[in-house]
Structure 1
Amino acid sequence: MAGAAWECVVQDPDLIPTPLPRRNGWRPLEVRRIDRPSPLRLLAVLVGLSRMMARLAWMRLAGRWDSRTAARLLRGFLESMGGAWIKVGQILAMRNDVWSAAFCNELSLLQDRACAFPADQARRVIEASIGRRVGDVFSHFDDVPIAAASLCQVHRAQLRRRRAWVAVKVQRPHASAFLAYDVRWIGVGAALLDGLGLAAHLQWREMVRQMRAIIEEELDYRIEAASMQRLQGTLGEQGIYVPDVHEEYCSRQVVVMEFVEGVALSELLRVRGSDPALAERWMFENNIRRSKVAKTMMHSLFHQIFIDNLWHGDLHPGNILLLRDSRLAFIDFGMAGSLDVEYLNNYKMYIGAINSDKFMLAADLMLMLSGVLPPLNVHEVRQKIADALQRWKWRARMKNGTFSEKSLSSSTFEIGQITMAYRFAPNWTLLKLGRAYNAVDLAIGAFYPEIDYTAAIAEFHRAQAPRRMSQVVADGQKSMAESMTMASMHTRRFRENTLMVQPAQSPGGDLLAFTARTMRNLLAAGFAYLAAACLFQADPALIEDALGTGSGWYRLIAGFPRLDGDVWLVFLTVLGLTTLRFHTLARRLGRAPLRLPMPER
């Protein structure tokens, strides 16, 4: 596909907006040389993590707990660590089935900021990666970067051959080593949490696996270049500009793309926060209408998902550039998503059922999309999902409702809370879709919260019906009865074949579960006794005040042989871990996963 379809595209000069005056307090990037990761990095992480945990514990004990403040503290820690820790925050923000909406939204604001690295290091990375000297490729190369993040920085340059101004995205020196170091220790922490059975339903190791996959993709800039080339054609049809890629100068660590003259939505939002009059003058001067920009963002996301099956996975305000006449440009395609075709077709049926107010059918389809289910009361869960979708539809139609009530992500959040309550396994496909919706929701909510979601969705369907929507809407309308019948048949069979209560276990399974529970309870009692004995030997007054010297429990505790502190530490640690292991075993024996019957091909 790299032939004529990808001829060099040049930004229309008539769409270049006037500069937005810099806000007060703007500071140039700090420059710092990058060395290989130090063994002391782990110590810095542990110190930062300990400080954050201490503050969170104080908030809880003082009765001042607030999920948004807690998320803000976590966000500050992750931003200070950078690298893989930013990805940890992005993964956590996707888990709207676990955390509150305020917590997820706060983590979605993670800013991937970092000090810049010196130009000589950037030049060495470029030359080693593309195998050519910087001076042979560029007639001009700005040594001062225009942006920096934990994985890369961007320089402005001019190509020697074409005389075109380009943005050169350069990977940070030793980026892969830093990420490998961080991921290794994050994996150790996840394995420890998993082994102890702490919040096992969060599937810590799977979260780390997803993070590794994201990092591996973002470290190979050839993938980003390919995504840009594909999306250049599909987004171009929607009137959204994508920088042209100079493929001959791209490699695993370098991307050379057209330099787009525009103003980041994030920058306009900051100016509007400090000087609303200046922001309004700039928008009027460049013929930028907030309603049109918001609808373009929403329609574009729908088009990317439902028609192109390739979407920009990180459309936060920093990756959206405003051009004249309410036109947009998208940048930074390091995260892009697509779906298996069969899964996409089922997802289209799910969205179609919601649009048609067929909420029970939509609930059935959501259960089908979820894959592996735990033992549950299907009728109960199905009704709760249908009720949640119906509530969202009502909220979206309200004229006086808040943006957060009407947003697309509010429906996915509420369904996520339901699936979490019933211990569904994380569905990363749906979570990644939810991340895309949430990013656009946050951008629209900050720029044009007055948007009418239902009207915008209806307008999208009307606009696409004569064209590519023939593959989605027209085909869907032509076979709607057949599709609905098939869906009803599959979901009816699913409900008939799915146990409505906890499944009966074999006598052997019951015996194992009973044994595990008994051992857990005995070990827990033993741990409590030993902990009391340890406290008594450290400070007898604590036990005397609590039990009194005449009680049988006091005599039992006081009679335990005296042990050294190191022996107590080993003793209690081993017993505590063993107790947790039996607790995990008891829970697993009590809950066997149930796989959803899938439609026959």
Structure 2
Amino acid sequence: MLPTLLERAKERRPVEIRSPMPEARWPFGRVVLLFGTYLLTRLWNRVTRRSSIDEEAHRLREVFEELGGLWIKIGQLVSLRTDVFSEATCRELSKLQHAAIGFPLAEVERTLRMEYGAELDSIFQYFSEEPIAAASISQVHLALLRDPNVVVAVKVRRPNAEHSFLRDLRHIKQLIGFIDLLGIGRHLHLRDALWELEQMVREELDFRFEAANTRRMRKSLKRHNIYVPRVFHKVSNRLVLVTEFVDGVLMSDFIRVGQSDPGRIEHWCRTNNFSPKKAGRRLFRSAVRQILEDNLFHADIHPGNIILLRDSRFALIDFGTIGFCERDLLSNYKASLQAVAQKDFGKAAEIMLRLAIEPPSLGDVKNLRRDLVRTYREWENRTHLNGIGYHERSLGSAGTDAGRIMTRYKVTLSWAFMRINRTWSTMDAALSYLIPDANYIELFADYFEDSRRRHLAPRRVLSRAASSIGQVMGRVEEYNSALDHLVRRQQLYSNIIGSASERILRAITTFLRFVRFLVGFAFLASAVSFLVIHHEHLLPAPEESVIAHFAHQFDDVAYEWWWIILAVLFVANLAFKAMERRLENRG
């Protein structure tokens, strides 16, 4: 299956090598300073109308890029929540990429000797000095094993990667804790997002997870006719992963060469009997099958993880992040895709409401459903137009439009969708080049027809019985989901009783939340002023800065009074929070 080369080694840009940078003295202070500066600048520009939404989104991307490390991943994940954040923000953050900066060979050799307890010569016949790829957590070297005599890709974790990522994770927890204390953005369920992020980070830092994921995906994707390189477990561990090297053409290189030299791509495709459209449809069909049938899917199918082979075949690599869904979520998601394939947009909208973390208020259900149906119809109409780009007709476009509608009604989807959304979002970069005129409704219809044939083919004699049983089971599953939805709706109906008092309670709760926000802000400002005046070594601030100027307005306040003020503000914040919770429980 190995194809001919697309470009020579000397044409490829080498990975830049840099020694690890020393850690900042005040890492959390740097995070607060960068985001605080961005928020204040954004507020000022909005008041003075000096910048556009696109410019603000670009500045936010620069903040994530400057922080680097785990913050790049966070920005990428935020870009998937088109139902929560603006289209401009999501579009800009989707451009975030880890800088392909490698680390010195001496660090690689030190890690390998520590893990193997032996010199490299005893494990490898050959080990390349220059890395062939680099990312935020690791870099990859080409090597030749001694036993067995196989060319392999050796992935080595960066020095201090675990320390820096877990440190950033602690900072994020602190930020979310502070946001939660102020009662901001509760409908976003940020703690659920934090849990998903923490699981992904811990999986990616420990290569034993990736080794196990690769073994499982190699078994399941074999049925899809997709190649997955094997893992050499004897020489793989927590910090090192050794896999078979697949000498094909990276999809990222295919796209890059195609943009600069289309003639070379056409010649390569003819030589290797490769049809981009056929490969794109295979990739799409496999992704849907991984999610809906296997419930085990590659959650990061970007062009750098797709290797093109002969005869429109391909291999997938890098299984540091895989996904699976709970049964109810998967059942509803499958039903929604089937409704889209059948152009039953009313049903698709109803199922979308089932997938929300919390149902919309009773008065909004009818209007929200109507707006979602209109959105789906507009998207379906766009798929038939000539001359529009891939992203306007893609599934992501429909998700963005639907997400904007749900945000308007303050309805949020589960963060468990993050990995599914990541799969579609990262795969779009490849599909937009392989099948730029894709019609997703047709693609989904083809998949479900193919799935039906595959499930019935082994038992043709019992095909009718199997089909009937499948339909009955499908109906039962739909009724179960519908009953669950009715129960949730019934809870909404019960809330109508005493609606007048509920509105009063809601108004009081909103007012208390605002007061608590002011108290929290006052506590933060007082704490900073106290540190600037009495403990300059802990929080140095230049004399000409706004912070220092504000703090020194209170130089006359005695040291003991500062503690009393801080204690009163802290207790007041807790008291307002307790009152708010009591009112919410009564509501």
TM-score w.r.t. the length of structure 2 is 0.80
Q: Conserved in 2, the CA contact under 8 Å of 1:232 and 1:243?
A: yes
2:202 to 205, 216, 233: 216
Cα 1:22–1:280 change in 2 (3 A) is farther
**2:394 matched residue in structure 1:** 407
Q: Conserved in 2, the CA contact under 8 Å of 1:269 and 1:447?
A: no
Q: CA–CA distance in 1 between the matches of 2:103 and 2:519? A: 56
Q: CA–CA distance in 2 between the matches of 1:523 and 1:335? A: 39
Q: CA–CA distance in 1 between the matches of 2:585 and 2:400? A: 26
Number of equivalences? 547
**1:499 matched residue in structure 2:** 493
Amino acid at match of 1:193: I
1:31 to 1, 4, 17: 17
**1:203 matched residue in structure 2:** 189
Amino acid at match of 2:493: L
Cα 1:521–1:53 change in 2 (3 A) is closer
User: Is 1:274 matched with 2:260?
Assistant: yes
Q: CA–CA distance in 2 between the matches of 1:336 and 1:395? A: 32
The alignment partner of 1:465 has SS state of helix
2:422 to 435, 439, 442: 435
Q: CA–CA distance in 1 between the matches of 2:104 and 2:10? A: 26
Q: Conserved in 1, the CA contact under 8 Å of 2:224 and 2:286?
A: yes
Give, in angstroms, the shift of residue 179 of structure 1.
1.1
Cα 1:376–1:578 change in 2 (3 A) is farther
**1:542 matched residue in structure 2:** none
Q: Conserved in 2, the CA contact under 8 Å of 1:94 and 1:434?
A: yes
Matches within 5 A, 1:148-547: 148-373=134-359, 375-377=361-363, 378-399=365-386, 401-468=388-455, 474=467, 476-477=470-471, 479-484=473-478, 487-488=481-482, 490-492=484-486, 494-499=488-493, 504=498
Q: Conserved in 1, the CA contact under 8 Å of 2:226 and 2:314?
A: yes
Q: CA–CA distance in 2 between the matches of 1:572 and 1:21? A: 69
**2:554 matched residue in structure 1:** 564
Q: Conserved in 2, the CA contact under 8 Å of 1:37 and 1:177?
A: no
Matches within 5 A, 1:1-40: 12=1, 15-21=2-8, 27-34=13-20, 37-40=23-26
**2:119 matched residue in structure 1:** 133
Give, in angstroms, the shift of residue 41 of structure 1.
3.9
Q: Conserved in 2, the CA contact under 8 Å of 1:243 and 1:260?
A: yes
Q: CA–CA distance in 2 between the matches of 1:578 and 1:276? A: 67
Matched residues, percent identical?
30
1:74 to 40, 57, 60: 60
**1:104 matched residue in structure 2:** 90
Cα 1:195–1:526 change in 2 (3 A) is closer
5+ unaligned residues in a row in structure 1: which ranges? 1-11, 529-561, 595-601
Q: CA–CA distance in 2 between the matches of 1:102 and 1:23? A: 38
Give, in angstroms, the shift of residue 485 of structure 1.
5.0
Q: Residue deviations 1:287-312, cap 9 Å, x none?
A: 33221122122111111111111110
Cα 1:226–1:63 change in 2 (3 A) is same
Deviates more, 1:467-476 or 1:245-254: 467-476
Q: CA–CA distance in 2 between the matches of 1:465 and 1:396? A: 25
Q: Conserved in 1, the CA contact under 8 Å of 2:77 and 2:422?
A: no
Amino acid at match of 1:247: H
Q: CA–CA distance in 1 between the matches of 2:586 and 2:90? A: 28
Deviates more, 1:470-479 or 1:321-330: 470-479
Q: Conserved in 2, the CA contact under 8 Å of 1:196 and 1:577?
A: no
Q: CA–CA distance in 1 between the matches of 2:151 and 2:411? A: 50
Cα 1:464–1:138 change in 2 (3 A) is same
Amino acid at match of 1:504: G
**2:529 matched residue in structure 1:** none
Deviates more, 1:199-208 or 1:216-225: 199-208
Q: CA–CA distance in 1 between the matches of 2:479 and 2:291? A: 25
Q: CA–CA distance in 1 between the matches of 2:384 and 2:575? A: 50
Matches within 5 A, 1:79-90: 79-90=65-76
Q: Residue deviations 1:516-548, cap 9 Å, x none?
A: 5666788999999xxxxxxxxxxxxxxxxxxxx
**1:557 matched residue in structure 2:** none
Q: CA–CA distance in 2 between the matches of 1:593 and 1:18? A: 69
Give, in angstroms, the shift of residue 195 of structure 1.
1.6
Q: Conserved in 2, the CA contact under 8 Å of 1:31 and 1:115?
A: yes
Q: CA–CA distance in 2 between the matches of 1:334 and 1:291? A: 28
Give, in angstroms, the shift of residue 171 of structure 1.
0.7
Q: Conserved in 1, the CA contact under 8 Å of 2:83 and 2:407?
A: yes
Q: CA–CA distance in 1 between the matches of 2:52 and 2:483? A: 46
Give, in angstroms, the shift of residue 199 of structure 1.
2.9
Q: Conserved in 2, the CA contact under 8 Å of 1:138 and 1:157?
A: yes
Q: CA–CA distance in 1 between the matches of 2:515 and 2:233? A: 66
Deviates more, 1:402-411 or 1:223-232: 402-411
Cα 1:69–1:261 change in 2 (3 A) is farther
Q: Residue deviations 1:119-161, cap 9 Å, x none?
A: 1211222232344432221111112111111111111111011
Q: Conserved in 2, the CA contact under 8 Å of 1:197 and 1:581?
A: no
**1:118 matched residue in structure 2:** 104
Amino acid at match of 1:413: T
Q: Conserved in 2, the CA contact under 8 Å of 1:375 and 1:503?
A: no
Give, in angstroms, the shift of residue 23 of structure 1.
9.5
Cα 1:582–1:418 change in 2 (3 A) is farther
**1:550 matched residue in structure 2:** none
Amino acid at match of 2:554: D
Amino acid at match of 1:564: F
Instruction: Give the CA RMSD over aligned residues.
Output: 4.0
Q: Conserved in 2, the CA contact under 8 Å of 1:35 and 1:173?
A: no
Give, in angstroms, the shift of residue 50 of structure 1.
5.8
Q: Residue deviations 1:53-105, cap 9 Å, x none?
A: 57655754564644444434333332343221122112212212112334323
Q: CA–CA distance in 2 between the matches of 1:385 and 1:290? A: 33
